């Protein structure tokens, strides 16, 4: 069964705007990861946030984690056409990469 559920399912914004995607999960986690998938390609790891962290930054990416609400958000600032992709959150409840559980993803379209 799916652990993470992304919201919205699809998002279309203008280039230069910020894009925010959300992820909700059901059970306790050790960490949460975000991945990007370009059409026809494999998933690429973007960022990992541990359960004891509340916010993390990487370049134009900002991830927040609220374990009390079992939710996370991914913010992409100053979006670019190349950011067009599907974005997935993945949760890890085990001690390592024990079978990451993915949501169905948010399809992000950046319009030039």
Q: Which residues bind another protein (CB under 8 A)?
A: 2, 31, 33, 35, 40-45, 48, 88, 90, 92, 96-105
Nearer to another protein, 8 or 16 (CB): 8
Q: Least distance to another protein from the beta carbon of 49, Å?
A: 11
Nearer to another protein, 33 or 71 (CB): 33
Q: Of 2, 18, 1, 5, which is closest to residue 108 (Cα–Cα)?
A: 18
Q: How many Å apart are CA 68 and CA 2, to the nearest integer?
A: 19
Q: Least distance to another protein from the beta carbon of 112, Å?
A: 26
Q: Least distance to another protein from the beta carbon of 17, Å?
A: 26
Nearer to another protein, 16 or 94 (CB): 94
Q: Of 61, 39, 37, 36, which is closest to residue 49 (Cα–Cα)?
A: 61
Nearer to another protein, 5 or 15 (CB): 5
Q: How many Å apart are CA 3 and CA 39, to the nearest integer?
A: 23
Q: How many Å apart are CA 75 and CA 41, to the nearest integer?
A: 22
């Amino acid at each position: 069964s799916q652990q993470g559920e992304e919201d919205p399912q699809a998002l279309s914004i203008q280039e230069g705007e910020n894009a925010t995607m959300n992820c909700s999960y059901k059970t306790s986690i050790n960490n949460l990861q975000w991945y990007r998938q370009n059409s026809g390609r494999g998933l690429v790891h973007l960022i990992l946030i541990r359960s004891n962290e509340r916010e993390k930054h990487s370049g134009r990416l900002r991830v927040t984690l609220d374990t009390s609400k079992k939710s996370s958000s991914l913010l992409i600032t100053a979006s670019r056409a190349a950011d067009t992709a599907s974005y997935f959150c993945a949760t890890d409840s085990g001690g390592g990469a024990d079978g990451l559980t993915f949501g169905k993803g948010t399809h992000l379209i950046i319009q030039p």
